[in-house]
Amino acid sequence: MRNEFQVSRICSYFKSWVIPTPEPYPLVDILNAGWKCYQDKDLWKDSQQIKPESRYNILADLVLKSMEVSEFHERLKNSHDLEG
Partner 1 sequence: MILKADQVEHELENPPDREDPLVITPKPKLEYGAASIDLRLGRWFSTSRQSRIPLIDVYAKSEEKPTEAKLSKFHYVPFDESFVLHPKAFVLGVTLEWIRLPADRAAYVIGRSSWGRHGLIIATATGVHPGFTGCLTLELSNVGEIPIRVQPGLTICQIFIHEMATGASKDVDRSSFIGKRKPERGTIEPDEIARRLARKTEEPGT
Would you tell me which residues interact with partner 1 (CB under 8 A)?
16-22, 48-50, 54, 57-58, 61-62, 64-65, 68-69, 71-73, 75
Nearest to 29 by CA among 6, 11, 9, 60: 6
1 vs 16 by CB, closer to partner 1: 16
2 vs 22 by CB, closer to partner 1: 22
2 vs 75 by CB, closer to partner 1: 75
Least spacing, CB of residue 78 vs partner 1, in Å:
11
Least spacing, CB of residue 1 vs partner 1, in Å:
25
SS (H, E, C) 26-75: CHHHHHHHHHHHHCCCCCCCCCCCCCHHHHHHHHHHHHHHHHHHHHHHHH
Helix (H, G, I), strand (E, B) or coil at 18: coil
